[in-house]
Copies of this chain bind each other. A is one copy, B any other.
Amino acid sequence: MTATSVLVPSSAGHARTRARLAVSAAAGGGVLSEAQLAAWLRDRRAAQPQRVERVPFAALRGWDFDAAGGDLRHSSGRFFSVHGLRVRSDFGPVAAWDQPIIRQPEVGILGIALRYFDGVPHLLMQAKAEPGNINGVQLSPTVQATKSNYTRVHGGSAVPYLEHFRRAAPGSVVADVLQSEQGSWFLHKRNRNMIVEVGPEVVAEEDFAWLTLGQVNALLRQDDMINMDARTVLSCLPDWRQGEAAGDALHSDADIRSWITDRRAVHEVSAEPIGLARTEGWHRDEKAVAREDGRHFSVVAVDVSSGRREVPAWSQPLIEPHGTGIAALFVRWAGGVPHVLLRARAEAGFLTTVELGPTVQCVPENYAHLPAGSLPPYLSEALERRAKARYDVLLSEEGGRFLHARSHYMIIEVEDEVPLVSDEFRWVSTPQVDELLRYSHHLNVQARTLITALRTL
């Protein structure tokens, strides 16, 4: 490899990509008509029957609680493990607790291939069954693979399209950024979120379809249709609804970055791995690790059989949340520029202490035992205004790790009289969000879903 002296514009491709994405977003049908898409979805659901059965931990094949601390691990040492975590935190109403948490130190790839058909970008979406999905098949990215998957630890078949992401050509990468996942359930988890342009030699295999952004956006307005992995990758697309110019905002970019830095410096969160057997307040029986008071979530085990995955049948642990989450984003237009109200959140599993979450993110049931006044800020305002929400869709979290984990995602337009209750909140313009999403660990996975949802409006 030798250095070449050919120069490219630093921001090569951005303006062109944005303009073409706007065309794709406006397109109803593309390679597939609306009717063909509906038929393909029905067909894929029928073709991917999946049986998911709760089993005792003792029936897990290859998984065991280790003798020392009781952590739940796979015998290969790969995939993921369920640890105990002891948390001390100055964020939120509870100062210290123990909990199980998923550790998955490998960086996986979540990648969507983008191909032009008659100049219109199409995204290659995959119909994929996951054991934790309430409805079996949802639409996932082209590639959704852990390193264990793509280095074939479980001896399965090769991951289709993987090489387009592992060896993306210069100039073909639209986005490529590490992003976190649920900080309450994952310790330091991050996945590579990629969008890569591919050529006409790349065709849709069985279970895959080329969709316009308009078609994807329409599906995003239906419950449980676009999976979490696809939603986070989509949030990393350049925002096609705006130009390249930075424009005006309520706070300068420098002040927004300074606010994030300040929140990271202020909060003190310690998250110390302890054995799962030593988590106080949690109890393990044959079929679950759960809290004695029934709150938050359980760790459970499932047996999965399907003719359509890389491995014909397998068993694995899953996290089963108790209660349905609420993730609400307040939006207001200031000087013609949309701004979103983000909250700087310190979640126990974040690598960088603080990321920006939605205005409201919680499972209301988990607050029932706490003193009045412990409820998250803006929750009651969100619920009061819910009838006028611009977006209100029930979406699933990652079905490969979570069993029937669902949240109501809402976008609520507010006037400017909403007072900010603390320095944890800031109005951030959507062009500023777009810039933050080019760098890792600024918006959490719930906020990224809501940014993806906002772009469908």
Q: What is A's interface to B at a CB cutoff of 8 Å?
A: 1-14, 105-107, 109, 168, 170-171, 173-178, 192, 194, 246-255, 257-258, 261-262, 264-265, 268, 270, 334-335, 337, 351-352, 416-423, 427, 429, 431-432, 438-440
- Determine the chain B residues whose CB is within 8 A of the CB of A246 once the complex forms: 9-11
- Determine the chain B residues whose CB is within 8 A of the CB of A174 once the complex forms: 254
- Determine the chain B residues whose CB is within 8 A of the CB of A2 once the complex forms: 417, 419-420
Top 6 closest A-B pairs, CB basis? A176-B258, A10-B246, A7-B248, A12-B252, A107-B265, A173-B258
B250 and A7 within 8 A (CB): yes
* Residue among B177, B262, B440 making CB contact with A176, cutoff 8 Å: B262
Closest to A253 in B: B10
- Determine the chain B residues whose CB is within 8 A of the CB of A177 once the complex forms: 257, 261
B173 and A254 within 8 A (CB): yes
How far in angstroms is the closest Cβ of chain B from A321?
A: 28
A254 to B2, CA, bound (A): 20
How far in angstroms is the closest Cβ of chain B from A258?
A: 4
Closest to A246 in B: B10
How far in angstroms is the closest Cβ of chain B from A288?
A: 29
* Residue among B170, B194, B337 making CB contact with A255, cutoff 8 Å: B170
A248 and B9 within 8 A (CB): yes
Looking at A3, A246, A268, A352, the one whose CB has the most chain B CB atoms below 10 A away is A3
A109 to B420, CA, bound (A): 26
A440 and B352 within 8 A (CB): yes
* Residue among B3, B255, B417, B431 making CB contact with A419, cutoff 8 Å: B3
A8 to B173, CA, bound (A): 32
B418 and A3 within 8 A (CB): yes
Looking at A170, A174, A255, A416, the one whose CB has the most chain B CB atoms below 10 A away is A255
User: Can you add 7 more A-B contacts, CB < 8 Å, to A3-B416, A7-B335?
Assistant: A1-B423, A5-B250, A10-B249, A11-B252, A107-B265, A173-B255, A176-B258
